[in-house]
Amino acid sequence: MRLGFFTIFGTLFGFVLSRGRVSDYDTIAGMFRLTDLHLFGVIGTAIATAGIGLWLIRRGGNRTVTGDPVDVRRKAWQPGVFSGGLVLGAGWALTGACPGTSLVQVGEGKLVAVFTVAGILVGTYVFGRLRSFGDRPGLASEPHPA
């Protein structure tokens, strides 16, 4: 039942991204061409508003409205942050979408976005597979039949 609340929030986020043209290919293209600065304004004011909101929550003792701890921490430093960022940025340029907006596009009826979503899912899996090489069964860990 609690999971349903998260779906409501996802719906709200998708709605806002759509209304704000963030899921529109031409908006992303305009940002990269510097002909439409709309998205810079959106990102900037989103960061500022979220910054104030999260700061107020921290100041209030990092508790939710019902008194539970708030599980929002700074993402820890990891070695791939910049390289991974570049790879994602390249994909962002090719698709005009990120993991969130590609899903919003599908809902809006922009059907070719299913290819973006499929690509992201496969890309996530492939990365996990490459990172799991050390412990894959079948090589050293599996006993060889005599």
Partner 1 sequence: MYEALFVTPWPWWVAGPAIGLVVTLLAWLLGKPLGVSTGYGVVCALGSRLSFFRAKEYDERWRLAFVVGLPLGGLIAAWLAGQLSPTLAFGQLDRLTHGSVAAKAVLLFGGGLLVGAGARWAGGCPSGHTIVGVAQGARSSIVATLGFMIAGFAVFNALYLVLGG
Residues 10-29 that bind partner 1 (CB under 8 A): 10-26, 29
Q: Which of 5, 140, 143, 144 binds partner 1 (CB under 8 A)?
A: 5
**Which among 7, 4, 3, 1 has a CA at the least distance from the CA of 103?**
7
Q: Which of residues 62-81 bind partner 1 (CB under 8 A)?
A: 64-65, 68-78, 80-81
Give the integer Cα–Cα distance in Å for 126 and 132.
10
Q: How many residues does the chain have?
A: 146
Quick check: 142 binds partner 1 (CB under 8 A)?
A: no
Q: Which of residues 26-55 bind partner 1 (CB under 8 A)?
A: 26, 29, 32-33, 38-54
DSSP 56-75: HHHHTTSB-TTSPBP---PP
**Which among 64, 84, 97 has a CA at the least distance from the CA of 124?**
84
Quick check: 144 binds partner 1 (CB under 8 A)?
A: no
Quick check: 59 binds partner 1 (CB under 8 A)?
A: no
Q: Which of residues 74-133 bind partner 1 (CB under 8 A)?
A: 74-78, 80-100, 102-113, 115-129, 131-132
CA 124 from chain centre, in angstroms, equals: 12
